[in-house]
Structure 1
Amino acid sequence: MGKMYNIKPINLLQGEKMEGYLNSLTKPKGSLGEVEEIAIQLAQITNEDFPEVTPPGIIVFAADHGIASEGVSAFPQEVTVQMVHNFLDGGAAINVLGKQIGAKVEIVDIGVAADLDRIGLHRRKIRHGTANFLEGDAMTREEAWKAIEVGSDMATSVIENGVKCLIIGEMGIGNTTSSSAILSALSGLDVEDVIGTGTGITTNQLEWKQQVIRQSLQKRTPDPTDPIDTLSKVGGLEIGGMVGAILAAAERKIPILVDGFISTVAALLAQRLYPEAKGYLFIGHRSMEVGHEHAIMLLEKKPILNLGLRLGEGTGAALAFPILQAATNIVKEMATFESAGVAEKI
């Protein structure tokens, strides 16, 4: 059994107070649409009249997947290592977007299949990638809890350094296969409904990927009522890391900006473990992965952006962050009808 989290329900009264304040600003009532909904949710999360989301912090969890040996990905497994080096060199999309929003990007080796030792890398490896879940469980229950703990430690550390909004991302060849298997197990949806081409496989590869997942689920029989059973049987170490990061941030009343398909599946696992965690989540965007829409619907959320993205790394969440920032600035800086001397109604 892993660590227990004390996640309080979000404060709905603070949200009502925020709604009243938004209605006093110099604009027609509700005219900023979803930006106002974001401001209300931020008030509910932080319990503050003037919520803050800056500075944001980005944590990218990197791990490998044994299932990649079944040829389910368009890229070879070595790409995980190569991309970790790219992150540390500052050359990946998440580095560029992180810089744009003033976020420090933390890279965590939670289960890369190779040994990495570089300055700036958080070395928290639990094992050298998961096992091939077509042949056996991806990891033990203990390893799944350890992954959650690593994610929790990382989030706690960045929050203690002053981060006001947590962006989670991942890197791991084969992780759309793992996420599709988790989603199918948790939702009861057929594999065909939750699986797409990942980062660009062919139709034949897609059919093979579906077959691999279907067979794996039949063999592993993950328990849909037990998120840790599902994570350990068909999950990934980086997915576990993101679950822990979400739970630690929710416990500290920090808004969590979730990225695409893989991190939304992690959010779903977090919500199944602690239903109250859902109130602390924002979905940054709707990705091109077909399963993403199902995962978002299960969380009863509305994605902020829809830009046809399918990269991961936290990129969609980093792109959505300025919308959260805009919501807080509107509340802080706009005049009220009274202060501006503007007539409210004719």
Structure 2
Amino acid sequence: MTALDFAALNAAIPPFDTESADLAREHWAAVAKPLGSLGVLEDAVVQLAGIMGTPNPEIRDRAVLVFCADNGVVAQGVTQCGQEVSTLVADSVAAGTSSVAVMAKTVRAQVVSVDVGLATPPSNPRVVGCSVAPGTADMTEGPAMTPEQAAAAIDVGIDAAHSMRSRGFDILCAGEMGIGNTTTSSAIASVLLGLDPTVSVGRGAGLDDEGLARKEAAVRRAIQVNAPDPADAFDVLCKVGGFDICAMAGLYIGGALCGMPVVVDGLVSAVAALAASRLCPACTHAMLASHISTEPATVAILEALGLHPPINAGMRLGEGSGAVALLPLLDMALAVYDAASFDDLGMDAYEELS
């Protein structure tokens, strides 16, 4: 497989349904409460209406897809632990014992663990096997992956979205697990947004000052060695990306193709969304922001995407946990959306005052 035809994929994405969105906005104005008083949660319901093509959106069946992969850049001492941890967590996700898995149970979300490139094969048979390769190459020494591998990983995400849609799911959360993936994410953000690594690189799972310096140096060296083209997101993914990031980019594209919203999690998930938006700009309207990660590049990425997350809780767990945290807020917003109207209460509607 070579590079995908992103122009064709982009053209195939259904347009945002502005009529349904406008009807949802009008409906909000009739609900018996102060106008706009649920803030960005009202905007999220309007966006759901436009994505799903109905002024009465429902998110009854929800899933979290956790794409797991390893990154060769860990050889540069940019993490606290080794690649074996990626597989341990992938197995834990599949077993229902990881952080995101137990969170998802509280909001009736199914969690799917997907091996898209783990260095060590998982032992849990419930991990979905879609491995492109046993981890990427060390991006400080050359490209992280070949164009064929990048395309294959993106295809994993696109196929996953179609599969989940065919199984009746209404909304997806983009999650990941891969030791070293905040390093690759920082590199991608640096290139696509023109950020210096001193701005884009954070402490990840908890690096000390020396580890942070190594991580920053690795990102800087990877960009110098590979010279990724900021105008070509696919080239950036090939040279300084990860299989997990490619798969999530595919999930965003596939979700948009299916008219299905995909919730963005933290830094890694957000940088995949940014890459997807550069590959297929039409997919951006199907993205819902969840939270602002403490990783430093996150705010710039969300601003570039035009996304406004409702949660700012200092989270940096990953796995799709922040995306899952949005689901109960959406449930509550949709409950209010279906609540009593001004007419039901026999009172005059509020008016927008300037």
TM over 0.5, yes or no?
A: yes
* Counterparts of residues 229-308 of structure 1 (less than 5 Å): 229-308=235-314
> What's 2:59 paired with?
53
Match status 1:106 vs 2:108: no
Q: Letter of the 1:186 partner, please give it.
A: L
Identity of aligned residues (%): 36
Unaligned runs of 5+ in 2: none
Give the Å deviation of 1:51. Answer: 0.4
After superposition, what is the alpha-carbon deviation per residue over 1:114-161, rounded to whole angstroms, capped at 9, x for unaligned?
A: 123532111111000000011111000111010000111112111111
Match status 1:335 vs 2:340: yes
User: CA–CA distance in 2 between the matches of 1:129 and 1:247?
Assistant: 23
> What's 1:76 paired with?
82
User: CA–CA distance in 2 between the matches of 1:104 and 1:19?
Assistant: 30
User: CA–CA distance in 1 between the matches of 2:246 and 2:225?
Assistant: 21
Unaligned runs of 5+ in 1: none
> What's 1:140 paired with?
146
- Counterpart contact for 1:117–1:123, Cα < 8 Å: no
User: CA–CA distance in 2 between the matches of 1:330 and 1:277?
Assistant: 28
User: CA–CA distance in 2 between the matches of 1:141 and 1:170?
Assistant: 21
Please report the TM-score for the alignment, with normalisation by the length of structure 2: 0.95
Match status 1:18 vs 2:24: yes
- Counterpart contact for 2:94–2:111, Cα < 8 Å: no
User: CA–CA distance in 1 between the matches of 2:350 and 2:154?
Assistant: 53
Equivalent of 2:163, from 157, 175, 178?
157
User: CA–CA distance in 2 between the matches of 1:29 and 1:118?
Assistant: 50
> What's 2:228 paired with?
222
User: Secondary structure at the residue paired with 1:204?
Assistant: helix
User: CA–CA distance in 2 between the matches of 1:315 and 1:255?
Assistant: 17
Match status 1:2 vs 2:4: yes
Distance 1:107 1:345, change over 3 A: closer
- Counterpart contact for 1:64–1:129, Cα < 8 Å: yes
Give the Å deviation of 1:318. Answer: 0.4
Moved >3 Å (runs of 4+): none
**Segment drifting more, 173-182 vs 49-58:** 49-58
User: Secondary structure at the residue paired with 2:297?
Assistant: helix
- Counterpart contact for 1:54–1:325, Cα < 8 Å: no
